[in-house]
Each structure stands twice: as C-alpha cells, then as structure tokens.
Amino acid sequence: MEALKTWRLLYSGFNHPYDNMATDEAIFRECMSGNSLPTFRIYGWQPEGLSLGCSQDTSKAINIGKCAEYNLPFVRRFSGGEVIFHSREVTYSISCLRGSLGIPAFIKESFKFLGSFLIDAYKSLGLDPVFSCESALSPSGVRNDGGQSVFCFASKEDYDIIIKGRKIGGNAQRRIKDAVFQHGSIPLKLDINRLELFLNEPLADISKKTISLEGALGRDIAFEEFAERLKTSFARVFSVNLVSDGLTLREKDLISLLKEEKYANPDWNLYRKKAVLAQ
C-alpha cells in the first residue's frame, strides 16, 4: 500500500485581517520555494473585517468612511474575487505545488477538485450540497464578470457550492507557475444588516442567494466543530496524512515583512500599489 503524503496542518487561531493575509501569502511563498511542506491551514478573524479581491476598486466596493467610523479593518487579498465580510466563520487555505494533489491544470476544474473536500464536510453534517452548475435550484445571483455585485456571496461561479438553493461561502485562488493557493470562507452565521453598512451597494434579496451553516442546519455550530470536520474531510478526500505543526522561522520573518510592506499598508489596501514583495 502506498504511503500517504504528509501535509502540514496549521491551526492558527483568530488573527487580525492583516496578519491572516500575510500568513497565507508567506506560507504559499515558502511552499512554492520548497522550503515548507504543503499546508492546510484553518483560521478565524479577530477583529472582524472585510477582505477585497486583488483587483477590486476599494472606493467603489466598500464604504471607507463607515469602516473608519466603526473601526472596521479592511485588507486586499492577493487572490481574486469580491468582497467578503469576515466575522463568525471558519476560513481555510491550501498552499501546495499542483503535483502535491494532482490538481487539474485548468482553473475551473481545479475549483471543483479542491471543493470536493468541502462537499464531503457538508455531507458529514447531514446536508445535501451540490456544485452550482449541477443544481436545479441554483441562486439567481449573477456571474462574476465585472457585473452586478461587489459582494462574493451574492454572485456565483460554476463550482460554488449550493445548499438548499443558496450559495454557501466563497473560494478564491492564486497560481504562480506550478504553485497553487486557494482559500475559502465558510460563514457559521451571517449578519446581512451589519454587512450592508460597509458596502457601496444594496444587497437586494441577498437572503435568497446566500446561506450560513447555521441557516442550513437550523442550529448553532461552533468554530471548533466545523474546523474538525474540515480537517477530517481534507485528509479523507485527498488521502493525505495531516501532521499538526507551527510556522517556520522563515515564515514568521516573511509574515512580519509582508504585513509591514503590504497588508497593513494603505497604498496596497486602497490603491493596489505594489509593495516590496507584491506580485
């Protein structure tokens, strides 16, 4: 019997938005360079905040004045997609070379491939998840083609996941050569009224387009419970051996630099001006 491939499992707790994005990029860069094992990371956000897709126009997408009024941080991701409000949720990230899991070369197919562990995790809770392109009850949101919505959960891709006819969570990807990075947000609970304070767009009928785990299950669910299910499903679906470990010294140094030069820098978050280590 072939031995399972070893991956690092990183539970990194609840962190500031700047730290979370700096950590994701640092791990990805070290995996890409061969200095770190392929890594599956699970984390949360404290304080809550907004993240924007790499190419979004900050002033068009979010109400910067309201963010300042409520002291709500926002950060630009190095992945694509639209705005996400990170509050009560579980977030994951995957950093590896494409060959580590046999990830398809085409990005659309890779979203389906990597999303398979999420499907498994939802099924383990007794839910009936399907990919958007396979659902007869797909939400009426629009394609992400620069169109209607700046909010991730209000639009859909073919391989977004649908539960009870509504989209749950969102995923974004970044590739550099043969290295693949993907992270995703799974809302345990949604506060649409609070979210709308910070967007420059009314979210008409958003409750018909998106759902949280609490809404899908009809009960409260703790961060720890769903994090454990994600870990179990990832190992099972991809046949890997997840070994708990921390950050390397190289990663810690890179996180500090990325945070200072990029993710805590208004030039990056407001205007996408390239920082020292920006791609």
Q: Where are the domains of the chain?
A: 5-271
pLDDT digits (tens, 9 = 90+) for 34-60: 999 999 999 999 999 999 999 999 999
Location of structure tokens 């790499």: 54
pLDDT value at residue 135: 67
Residue 80: count of CB within 10 angstroms of its CB: 14
The helices-and-strands tally (H runs, E runs) of the chain is: 9, 14
DSSP output for 18-30: HHHHHHHHHHHHH
Domain 5-271 sits in CATH 3.50.50.60: no
Q: What angle do CA 266, 23, 237 make, to 5 degrees?
A: 135
Q: What are phi and psi of 52, to 5 degrees?
A: -115, 150
pLDDT digits (tens, 9 = 90+) for 217-262: 999 999 999 999 999 999 999 999 999 999 999 999 999 999 999 9
pLDDT value at residue 140: 47
pTM higher than 0.85, yes or no?
yes
**Segment 161-172 mean pLDDT:** 94
Position 186 pLDDT exceeds 90: yes
Give the residue, 1 or 27, on which the prediction is more confident.
27
Position 73 pLDDT exceeds 80: yes
Position 144 pLDDT exceeds 50: no
Position 8 pLDDT exceeds 70: yes
Amino acid at 196: E
Percent of the chain whose predicted confidence (pLDDT) is above 90 = 80
Within the chain, residue ranges assigned H as helices are 17-32, 58-61, 64-69, 107-124, 192-196, 213-217, 223-238, 249-258, 266-271
- 180-216 burial string, b = 16+ CB within 10 Å, else e? bbbbbbbbbebeeeebbebbebebeebeebbbbbebb
Confidence of residue 172 (pLDDT cuts 50, 70, 90): very high
